[in-house]
Amino acid sequence: MKNRLLYRILAGYVALILFTAIVMGLMYARQIKTELIDEIRNDLIAQARIAALLGIGDIERKLSNLADISSSRVTLIDASGRVKADSEKDLAQMDSHLNRPEIQEARIKGQGEAIRFSRTLGVDMLYIAFPIAEGSEVAGYIRFARPLFEVSKSIDQQYSYIYKCLLIAIIPSFIIAFLWPEDLFHQLRK
């Protein structure tokens, strides 16, 4: 009788701890992901906005420096969608970028962004694009991109921390359950 009741109490306690930890972990991971992506987005927007003020020729000459300073992949795209320069890939391997979601949004709204998988680099990327104006015409687009593996790495670290906390909570529960003095159990029943 004692063991059955004790195991029910223990099972309920462990289930409550697990449920709470899982829900909190999921909420916490979502919050961290949102904050990290917002931080990367704001940084890329600031960098791209400044770079868009340069002319196409200046951007093409300084593309490598822009990429180094911003720690980003930088792509220069002409008005027809042809890639004129890219900081990480050979131009011969690149197709037209005019139909990329971030370029389409930049063309329509003046600023574009997208989070999607880069087939070229093989990772999820955050892309920010701005049109480059020369006079009243759009001469092309500047696009900054950064991989989101840093976000995944940070979330994985948080999950690791949560799992360790779960172990810290569950192990003492089992120890208490198995070492529970029988006379203390009877005193609590009275």
Q: From CA 105, how far away is CA 144, in angstroms rounded?
A: 14
Strands 123-134 and 112-118: antiparallel
Predicted confidence at residue 119, as pLDDT, reads 75
Predicted confidence at residue 110, as pLDDT, reads 93
Enter the CATH code of domain 1-149+157-190. 3.30.450.20
Predicted confidence at residue 187, as pLDDT, reads 56
Q: From CA 7, how far away is CA 177, in angstroms rounded?
A: 8
* Averaged pLDDT in 10-residue chunks for the chain of 190 residues: 67 77 80 88 93 89 90 92 86 82 93 87 88 90 90 80 77 69 54
Which residue ranges make up each domain of the chain?
Answer: 1-149+157-190
